[in-house]
Structure 1
Amino acid sequence: MRHVPALPKYDKDAVTRRLCSAVHLDDEFARLVREELVADRMTAIGLPLGVNLLALARHGNQAVDRMDTRDARLAWLFVGLWVSVIGALAGIVQGASAAVMSGAAGVLIVIGLAWWLVHRTENQSRQVATDVCYSAGRPLDLAPEIDQETEARLRELKQPNILPYTQSAELSCPFVGSGKKIKETVWQPIDVSRPADAPGGGKLTLIPFDAVDLHTYVAKEMANVAGLEGLRSQNRLYVLGPQVRYLGADVLPDPLSPPLSRIPRPLVKAGLLNPGAGMRTYLSLERVGEGGRAIVSMYLRARLHHPSLSWEVAAYAIPPISGRYHRADYLPRDGFERWWNMVRFATSHTWPALRGAPGRIRRRGSAFNRRARELEKSRKEITKRHALHDYGATGSLRDRVASWDQLGHAERMDSQDFLHRLQQGVLIATERFLKDHHVDTGSFDRAQQVITTQTYNISGDINGPSNFGNNGQIAANYGQQGAQPSGASGGTP
């Protein structure tokens, strides 16, 4: 084996570190994280897709608590400021110099305390942000725990085998939060009714199999066949949000709470053999790129209706996270530069923070109350009217923080390679499975020639032969099954 120097690499949890760092520097993002992962809810949470959601929830919760504490104190200081101002004005009217001096001193003290509070809070935020981004400790261990029920729910999301998706997603795709759609197709049918030739002449006896057997085999063999280290393969039941209640207590033990993310395996298998109304099982193949920067996913479903077999295939991609979440990289970390930057920050932000504290508290309270009323209304409709509720997830945090402007050449090439390897791996695993079950693969060989013409392009301008271009818009040429007639346009999106 050749020995070469070890080059620096991205941390495997690089994206988790960036996002956990960002919540301490971006109050709006921190509140989004808290609302999505910690707040009371009835809908499912989207897939983690390379992000440790428990670590992110802990840091988001810590960041929001810190800012709420700061604003509560600033609000009291703002009241004290007005008291001091009114006292000084009263002294001017009455000609009492002592009252004027006392009021002016009060104003200076309030401004000084507010400056110190803004400086101290920002210093704490930056310290935690840089620690989680650059220290050797795990992000999960660098923030305090939250309530046990929420922690347990987020831990189960590491490997969810069910994902309810919102009703509106059925019009486009059930794979909510998986990024932009690259391909959606059904591969050429394969005849699986003919037995293979026996070595000594005659025919072999077919070994019966079903879709569960095929999915299980492909899931186990894909990583080795495709040559993709770290490939995550799992059968997952996708359910329309309003249909969740019909699955009973195994999925929804409490109709007034979110559905479970881990369910009994027989239900997952049933989604393959006997799909229900808006309930189907897919084999999810996810490959997180270097450092979690880019993610490609392929969703497969074996359509086995004797005498033929076909694969339903959908491919998706998520680009790196937006530059908005890299702020920690540009903060001075020590010395005079850091000190002076903090002084400038506190000086420029003290008055807006002090003046706006009561309004921010009021708006947050109104938003909290509005959300609570909406949840209460939904729960009353469920308990009193037995109304169906849409428990489906609407997306994923990882998809929301992504930006196609950050997709570089390396990620584009790696993503294309991953998808080609996934496609080839599925074909190889399917062929081996059919041979193991004594199926003649002549029909498979003919179908493979058509299937392998399909392409996965993640580059280029929106007017050129690609599917992702400027601003992440979908363009043309996905490749099609079979040859196109002269003058035909690219494949359908």
Structure 2
Amino acid sequence: MNEAFHQEMREDAATRNLCAGVYLDRNFRSTVIQKVYNDTRRRVAPSYGFDLVAVVRHAWRAWALEVIQDVGILGMLLMGFVANAPVTLTAVSWIALGHLVRMALRNALVLAPLKAKEVADRWLHRDRWASEGELLRVHARLLRISLGASLPLLLVPMVVSGLVGRPLARVVEGAVWLVALVATWAAGSAVAKRIAINKMHNAKSLRIVPRTGRLAAISFQEKHPCVVYSRPQSAEPARKGRALVTPTLFDDPDPFDEPSLFVGSGRLIHRWLPPLAIQLLPSDADAPVDIDIPFEAHELVGRLKKDLDAMRPEEDAHHPTKLRGLECRSRLYIAEADVSATNRESLHVHPDSQDLESIIDHPNKLYHHFLEIVVTDTGELVTSIYLRVTVKGRALSLDFAACALTRTPEEYGIFDAGGRSGWIAVVRSALTGLRDLPLTVGMVWRVAAAPATLVRAVRASKRGAYPRRHVPGSGTQASIRELKSMKWEEASLDKFTIYDYMKIIEQHLLKTTKEFLDGRGLDTSTFEKQASTIINSGVLNMGGTTEVHNSAVGAHSQVKADIREDANSQ
């Protein structure tokens, strides 16, 4: 048997990719630190398929490496300026010159084919798009700017040596040593970052014990069954000259901006609208209709959970009757506006079985109970199913919703291909650090924000958990996992995997519910018809949008494709 055909991804692949992302993406790292660790005002979103504590821990390590890099470069330049200002000015001018030369080369490579096409169009008398001419002028302008700014920088060594009365050779020699020292420090920082990524990638497990109060609070909140969501704000009247846009239920959420009910679980791809509702009538036609309902809602929820738990693999994860990565638990949702001093304590303790049964049986409470079923193999693709069971008005209501988390960015997950892991990647990182030296030196000013970040981190560590007093706007917002998920329209084959899991869980829920109702002597004929409609027709699938491209409406209508469309978009 060829083992190459049987390789599998790690179960914590999503966690490892996000941990690598905080080293590779500074904006993502800043979001993790500022929006998750330092922001104690908002409750942490549930984590689906990944470990948030590990990501936060590596975000701080990556932040520390960057601060050490910036402090080292800034210290070298400041000490060099105090000791020998002409040498330091020359060194800085050379580093800036390297950036301008690289900028000129990039624009020249783009400008050359555009210029050649312009000449060919002129000779062949072909029509040209105005956008092509504008693109040619922009790159030509950038090329002139980079070349024009390079000339004064070339004269900096001669000017400063003449002003201070020192030999040009000594100024140049000192500048060479200073540039070499700064470049070595930048390359060493890039190597340290790559070694940290390789160490994380080769670790057997990324699970860590929270050592600070804030990390302990994050670990507690991401696993807590209660979620505080924010109701959508009422739309403001449209201002003059600006259209009023109202987000719909299935729009992609804007992370850390638009509120969502199933926060952290990704895009809502499917929902029964309206919910499935049937009257609870006895199966015996001679029985009185007004008999008492022979069960409570929590009994059906318990039966559903028991049957789903039986599908979890214990030994053989690939058994055909099991679902790998299946988890089934209760999830409680409460609106941010409904959180008060009386029920705020519930956010700091886990509810017991009696509390859950009371919430399920009384749907008029502030908390809304959903049976949450999550299926994921590696955390890269997560299918989350939410089922709300209520019994009221002598009717059983089933509210079904499905959400999906797509893959993390591809650049976060490539380690072994093309020498991206091991010592080859370390050497490549050193060369990349040398290539990006001008950008690194130009961004040393960001070290000024480090003290404020540390102060907020210390304050967050002291506060630890979610503040007990009511804070306006403290509802849970979108998670970092949602922030770094591929767009649903680009998921390609992953959509079929997600829909596959969704339909499997959907059929199991309907089958178990029918068996439960039959066992209680209730009529299930109406339920069977509605369940058959849901399974077979799929007309209740509300996910996705309808897009119409290159179409015509009306008699004798025609569509003519414009071959210049690509050029216009470019």
TM-score category, normalised to shorter length = 0.7 to 0.9
Give the deviation of 1:301 after TM superposition.
0.9
Task: Check whether the contact 2:361–2:390 (CA below 8 A) recurs between aligned residues.
Answer: no
- What's 1:311 paired with? 398
Within a 5 Å distance, the mapping from 1:15-164 to structure 2 comes to 15-84=14-83, 86=85, 92-96=162-166, 107-133=175-201, 135-140=202-207, 147-157=211-221, 159-164=223-228
1:452 matched to 2:519: no
Cα deviation code 1:148-188 (max 9, x no counterpart): 31232233245321111123389845112322222222343
**Could you tell me whether the CA contact under 8 Å between 1:74 and 1:114 is conserved in 2?**
yes
Matched, 1:475 2:546: yes
RMSD: 3.8
2:385 touches 2:400 (CA, 8 Å); kept in 1?
Answer: yes
Match of 2:331 in 1: 236
1:456–1:39 Cα change, 3 Å: farther
Q: Say if 1:146 and 1:207 are closer, same or farther in 2 by CA, change over 3 A.
A: closer
Secondary structure at the counterpart of residue 428 of structure 2 = helix
Alignment-mate amino acid for residue 538 of structure 2: T
Tell me if the contact between 2:13 and 2:378 (Cα under 8 Å) persists in the aligned partners.
yes
Alignment of 1:376-415 (within 5 A): 389-404=472-487, 407-409=491-493, 411-415=494-498
Distance 1:189 1:335 in 2: 58
AA in 2 matched with 1:417: D
Q: 1:96 to 1:399 in 2, by over 3 A?
A: closer
Matched-pair contact (CA < 8 Å) for 2:372–2:387? yes
Q: Distance in 2 between matches of 1:282 and 1:15?
A: 25
> Identity of paired residues, percent?
18
Partner of 1:44, secondary structure, is: coil
Q: Is the alpha carbon distance of 1:232 and 1:337 closer, same or farther for their aligned partners in structure 2, counting shifts above 3 Å?
A: closer
How much has 1:67 moved relative to structure 2? 1.0
The residue type paired with residue 280 of structure 2 is: V
C-alpha contact 1:215 1:235 (8 A) present in aligned 2? no
For 2:502, the aligned partner's letter is: L
Name 2:506's counterpart in structure 1: 423
Residues 307 and 415 of structure 1: is their aligned pair in 2 closer, same or farther, counting only changes over 3 Å? same
Question: What does residue 220 of structure 1 align with?
Answer: 306
User: In 2, Cα distance between the equivalents of 1:457 and 1:62?
Assistant: 47
Say which structure, 1 or 2, has more relative contact order (CA 8 Å, 6+ apart).
2
Residue 366 of structure 1, CA deviation: 6.8
CA contact (8 A) 1:81 1:106 kept: no
In the alignment, the residues of structure 2 paired with residue 453 and residue 233 of structure 1 have an alpha-carbon distance, to the nearest angstrom, of 25
Query: Quick check: 1:355 aligned with 2:442?
Result: yes
- Which structure is larger by alpha-carbon Rg, 1 or 2? 2
Describe the superposition over 1:447-490 as per-residue Cα deviations: whole angstroms up to 9, x where unpaired.
Answer: 323333453999xxxxxxx944xxxxx338xxxxxxxxxxxxxx
Q: What SS is found at the alignment partner of 1:189? A: strand
Matched residue SS, 1:186: coil
User: Of 201, 211, 215, which aligns to 2:297?
Assistant: 211
Find the aligned partners of 2:196 and 2:53 in 1 and give their Cα distance.
Answer: 17
Shift of the alpha carbon at 1:231?
1.9
Secondary structure at 2:368's aligned position in 1?
strand
Relative to 1, partners in 2 of residues 1:352 and 1:85: Cα closer, same or farther, differing over 3 Å? farther
The Cα offsets for residues 133-159 of structure 1, whole Å up to 9 and x where unpaired, read as 2x2511235xxx664312322332453
3-state SS in 2 of match to 1:140: coil
Report Cα offsets for 1:290-310 as digits up to 9, x if no partner: 322211111111121142112
Equivalent residues of 1:22, 1:327 under 8 A apart: no
In structure 1, C-alpha distance between the alignment counterparts of 2:62 and 2:540, rounded to whole Å: 39
Mapped contact 1:24–1:129 kept (Cα < 8 A): yes
Task: State how far apart, in whole Å, the 2-side matches of 1:456 and 1:398 are.
Answer: 30
Which range moves more in the overlay, 268-277 or 48-57?
A: 268-277
Write out per-residue CA displacement over residues 213-266 of structure 1, whole angstroms, 9 at most, x where no aligned residue: 221221221244785343211111111123223553423xxxxxxx54844555
1:174 maps to which residue? 261
Distance 1:334 1:36 in 2: 30
- Report the 3-state secondary structure (helix = DSSP H, G, I; strand = E; otherwise coil) of the residue aligned with 1:177: coil
Q: What SS does the corresponding residue of 2:485 show, helix, strand or coil?
A: coil
Any conservation in 1 of the 2:23–2:62 contact (CA below 8 Å)? yes
Farther off after superposition, 440-449 or 67-76:
440-449
Question: Aligned equivalents of 1:418 and 1:189: distance in 2?
Answer: 24
Runs (5+) with no aligned partner, structure 2: 88-158, 235-246, 250-259, 312-320, 461-466, 548-570
1:483 aligns with: none
Deviation readout 1:363-407 (Å, 9 max, x if unpaired): 5667888x89xx9xxxxxx99xx8752321111222111113652
User: Does structure 1 retain, via aligned residues, the 8 Å contact 2:296–2:391?
Assistant: yes
SS in 1 for 2:415: helix
Q: Distance in 1 between matches of 2:400 and 2:502?
A: 11
Q: Corresponding residue for 2:9? A: 10
TM-score (norm 2): 0.66
Which residue among 167, 176, 183 is the counterpart of 2:270? Answer: 183
Q: Which moved more, 1:312-321 or 1:23-32?
A: 23-32
Q: Is this contact kept in 1: 2:293–2:394, CA < 8 A?
A: no
Deviates more, 1:73-82 or 1:448-457: 448-457
Structure 1 counterpart of 2:60, one-letter code: N
Distance 2:8 2:342 in 1: 45
Task: Tell me if structure 1 keeps the 8 A contact 2:43–2:221.
Answer: no
Question: Contact 1:302 / 1:310 at 8 angstroms: preserved in 2?
Answer: yes
2:123 — aligned with what? none
| Aligned counterpart, 2:524 | 441
Amino acid in the other structure paired with 1:245: S
Tell me the secondary structure at the aligned position of residue 6 of structure 2: coil
1:30-63 C-alpha deviation (Å, 9 max, x unpaired) = 2222223322421111121101112111111111
Q: Which amino acid aligns with 2:387?
A: L
Paired amino acid for 2:405: I
Distance 1:152 1:336, change over 3 A: closer
- 1:282 counterpart = 2:370: yes
How far has the Cα of 1:312 moved from its partner? 1.0
The 1:456/1:325 distance shift into structure 2, 3 A limit, reads farther
Contiguous gaps of at least 5 residues in structure 1: 252-258, 376-381, 459-465, 469-473, 477-493
Cα deviation, residue 415, structure 1: 1.4
Matches within 5 A, 1:252-263: 259-260=347-348, 262-263=350-351
Distance 1:224 1:138, change over 3 A: same
